[in-house]
Structure 1
Amino acid sequence: MFIKDLKHCISLSVSLLLMSALVFGNSEVAANTSEASRQLTLEQAIQIAQNNDPWLESNEYRQQSISAQSTAAGSLPDPMVSISVANLPVDSFDFSQEAMTQLKFGVTQALPRGDSLELSQKRLQQLSQEFPLQRQNRKAQVKAAISQLWLEIFLTAQTIELIEQDRPLFEQLAETASINYSSAMVQTSQQDVIRAQVELTRLDDRLSQLRQQLTSKKAQLSEWLTTSNHSQWAMKEFQLPDHLPAITLSSDDLLSESGNEYSEKLIQHLSSHPQLVAFEQKIQASDTSIELAKQSYKPQWNLNASYGYRDDDPMGNSRSDFFSVGVSFDVPLFTENRQDQQVTSSIKEREAYKADKWLMLRNMLASVRNFQGQLIELDNRRQLFNNKLLQEMQQQAEATLNAYTNDRGDFAEVMRARIAELNTKIDAMTVEVSYLKTIVQLNYLFTQAEQ
């Protein structure tokens, strides 16, 4: 009778301790909520990272560089000016001795081949239009990377909180095992006492590992948040909200279809992704490069003009000055080893870009199908955890504790049930976070290029 009363008291104390742990956890959450100034939401993290990404600034400078080159490429080459003394007699070096002696001033202007000037400018302008698409893709990549990292930090922090909430319960169970063993109770052995202490030590080790992971991931996130205006987030002292953000699928209608029509719509949608549109810009620029290479079959012209000044003759008679004008041009006769190869090179480069674009599209299609399948299974697991598994694990933990307090159960089963219940809570949170991370990946793939 004494043994049953003692176990009943222990069971009651364990229940009260569990309730107090939950109350303490809620009070701790309330305290964290009051520190809203230190909380970093997902939207804040994404905005700070996107607005202060040095890569975007670097990309803008590169675009400005290409734009400046396009302006320069559309200009004619500078004229060549020449000054010379022609036909000077070497016996006396007298400028007025010979009638052909003259001081010449000349200018030569080279004209580009065919339409090469306009095509060179057009090609660079097409290449410069790729940079805004690169920045759009970068922003989408940053959003996905920050979301993934933020969710990993949230999962780690929530796992730590769950373990810390349940740790007092395991301490009470270890104390219960020790009391039962000291009281020479039949169902409690030294092995139970040691097992309880081992499980408690394993929890401490698990907490240590999780805190290490949390510190590392916060440091990774702070790299994106390190700016002169947001130093408070760069010190790794920020906290995350205690609830998951609402992340919705941007194009869920695409995933609700099937068959050939689904594939066609999906390909059409993915073709508007900034990365693929950027490849299309490269292909258009390579088309212009082909036309530019074909201009090498046309001659290059040079216009020249000169004015020759002559001095008066030795008798004082005035001599007429000379004015000359002319053109020169090359004749591309041997085109097999130069012009033909330049055109071939440009064509092969265009085909390479087309192959790269198709390769990227195939990869994105496979990724969408992969994440779509994962999303369906993760949603099924979410329903399973929320509707059945969490409740069943709680019932199992309570049933094993009740059986133990009524001399019909084993202490080892109580420990296993409590550990299984804790792991199930952590697994449920992991599934929720994995579900949102999968949506983040799909939203990146469904990003549409802005006009």
Structure 2
Amino acid sequence: MSNYSVSKKMGTAKHNKIRASFAVVFVLSLFLMANKPVVAQTLSLEQALQLAIQNDPLLKGNAHRKDRFNAEAEASSYWANPQVSASVQNLPTDGFAFDQEPMTQFKVGLKQQLPRGDENLYSQQKYQVMADQMLVQSQARKAWLKREVTLTWLDWVYATRRIGLLDKEKSLLTQLLDFTDSRYSQGVGAAAQQDILQVRLALLSLDDKYVQAYQQKNEARSALSKWFGAPLDDSVSAPLAQSTQDAIEVDAILNDSNLSLSSFLTVINSSEPFSILQHHPEAMLLQIQTQIEAQNVNIAREQTKSQWAFEASYGYRQDAQNGASRADIVSLGVQVDLPFFNKSRQDASIAAAASKMSASETDFRLKVNELAANAEVLKSRLSALSERKALYETALIGETQQLSEAELTAYTTDTGDISDVVNANLKKVQVQDDLLKIDIERARTLASLAYLYLPTLAHFSNKE
């Protein structure tokens, strides 16, 4: 046997040993990454929503504003305070004697001014409507708050889970770099220096992805803290997926309704948005504002009516110095203003109030159109995302899994290359990342649809 044959067999045996040991390490590392324990305290979406609502200053302020308007409504129902007057009249200056002149008297009077028409009634109704407006405004705030917190929480979850996928990708690239470097240094196979440089370049590009993912994670985490009134504790983390098939938490989006996800989708697909969304809190706020402006029109019209005041007085006169008796005096009177000389100004005030009411009605229609158009866009987006999700879950995930297993089998039987094994697993991680993006975007779309439809459905439930 020649020295060349001996060295060739030794090289082949060394190469097979490297292949076998690397295959064991590769499979073991994948198993460890898939079963990485989670020990940190997690913040679920339901917990985040509860904290945000409990700590929202605007909701607490609306409660105080509602109490204020109720108090204003009660106060506006009362008449103006009566006026009491007391005076000494016709006192002579040549002696200041109270019994010298018959016209001298001590007079006490009472005057009561009446409201102008039904101004008090309309003012009371106006403040009652404004108090009701605070309830609807709180409903709108809660719905908006849930949407914004959900979107921020989803950004946080996406960045956190993407970092986990980047960890898998980094582990795979590191293993590929070690294997390629080992083959190149030992002169085994066709490994070249440019192969090592390509893997290193991929690792450098991965570092940039890490920076972006951590930046997005930290920004989302900081954004969440503004809803809670305090920064999140360092021990709190976003929920991590225990497997690649774990879905994004969406049940909490519908936790205030008795609808399942399938029932909710049926409702939004069967309803006509331009009709049902007239009862959305944002639209109802403009309807209530129209009612307020209608009361302002009524109040402006009452300004064209006369305002009356009644007064009564009692005058005490002392008997004369010669003992003659003097009768006391009672006076009754009425006062009325004449709002007929500024008719042009009053007509202008009424026209301005009526125009403001009409503008509010227009704003209501524009808001309904805007909400309905958003609903149509979101429904179309959700349909496309659901199709893509089904494609990934029924086809792409399984195909990449089979490709990964086939490449690993080929490598262990000495008919494949380790680079093909790693690239197949990198493709698998990329598909998982794409599916995660779809799940997050689908959850964001559901949150926006829930913002539009759940408050409206709750309105109809309360009416029943």
1:211 pairs, out of 211, 214, 238, with 214
Is residue 170 from structure 1 mapped to residue 173 from structure 2 by the alignment? yes
CA 75–434 in structure 1, closer or farther in 2 if over 3 Å, else same? same
2:78 is matched with which residue? Answer: 75
SS of 1:328 mapped into structure 2: strand
Offset, 1:15: 3.8
2:269 is matched with which residue? Answer: 256
Which stretches in structure 2 are left out of the alignment for 5+ residues? 1-7, 242-247, 252-260
Q: Aligned partners of 2:28, 2:127: CA distance in 1, in Å?
A: 69
Q: Aligned partners of 1:90, 1:417: CA distance in 2, in Å?
A: 117
CA 301–171 in structure 1, closer or farther in 2 if over 3 Å, else same? same
Is residue 23 from structure 1 mapped to residue 23 from structure 2 by the alignment? no
> For each residue in 1:205-224, what CA deviation from the matched residue of structure 2 results, as whole angstroms up to 9, or x when unmatched?
32233223222212222332
Offset, 1:21: 2.6
Offset, 1:295: 1.0
CA 253–415 in structure 1, closer or farther in 2 if over 3 Å, else same? closer
2:60 is matched with which residue? Answer: 57
Q: Give 1:362-401 correspondences, 5 Å limit.
A: 362-395=369-402
> For each residue in 1:26-63, what CA deviation from the matched residue of structure 2 results, as whole angstroms up to 9, or x when unmatched?
4423x43xx6xx22221111112112222111111111
Q: Give 1:22-421 correspondences, 5 Å limit.
A: 22-29=30-37, 31-32=38-39, 38-185=41-188, 187-226=190-229, 234-243=232-241, 244-247=248-251, 248=261, 251-257=264-270, 265-395=272-402, 402=410, 418-421=425-428
Amino acid at match of 1:245: E
Q: Aligned partners of 1:7, 1:20: CA distance in 2, in Å?
A: 20
Aligned-CA RMSD value: 2.7
Amino acid at match of 2:431: T
Amino acid at match of 1:25: M
SS of 1:271 mapped into structure 2: helix
Q: Aligned partners of 1:5, 1:340: CA distance in 2, in Å?
A: 105
Q: Aligned partners of 1:122, 1:133: CA distance in 2, in Å?
A: 17
Amino acid at match of 1:287: A
Maintained 8 Å contact 2:176/2:418? no
Offset, 1:255: 4.0
Q: TM-score, normalised by structure 1?
A: 0.88
1:230 is matched with which residue? Answer: none
Q: Aligned partners of 1:11, 1:366: CA distance in 2, in Å?
A: 59
Question: Structure 1: which 4+ aligned runs deviate by more than 6 Å?
Answer: 398-401, 403-410
SS of 1:28 mapped into structure 2: coil
SS of 2:59 mapped into structure 1: helix
Number of residue pairs the alignment of both structures matches: 434
Offset, 1:410: 10
SS of 2:310 mapped into structure 1: strand
CA 337–414 in structure 1, closer or farther in 2 if over 3 Å, else same? farther
Offset, 1:150: 1.7
Q: Aligned partners of 1:8, 1:336: CA distance in 2, in Å?
A: 105
CA 67–109 in structure 1, closer or farther in 2 if over 3 Å, else same? same
Amino acid at match of 1:76: W
SS of 1:129 mapped into structure 2: helix
> For each residue in 1:7-33, what CA deviation from the matched residue of structure 2 results, as whole angstroms up to 9, or x when unmatched?
55555444433432333234423x43x
Q: Aligned partners of 1:430, 1:17: CA distance in 2, in Å?
A: 30
Q: TM-score, normalised by structure 2?
A: 0.86
- Percent of counterpart pairs with the same letter? 29
2:437 is matched with which residue? Answer: 430
Which stretches in structure 1 are left out of the alignment for 5+ residues? 228-232
Q: Aligned partners of 2:240, 2:111: CA distance in 1, in Å?
A: 76
Report which stretch shifted further, 207-216 or 351-360: 207-216
> For each residue in 1:418-438, what CA deviation from the matched residue of structure 2 results, as whole angstroms up to 9, or x when unmatched?
544332221111101111111
Amino acid at match of 1:378: L
Maintained 8 Å contact 1:17/1:168? no
Maintained 8 Å contact 1:63/1:131? yes
SS of 1:138 mapped into structure 2: helix
Q: Aligned partners of 1:102, 1:415: CA distance in 2, in Å?
A: 114
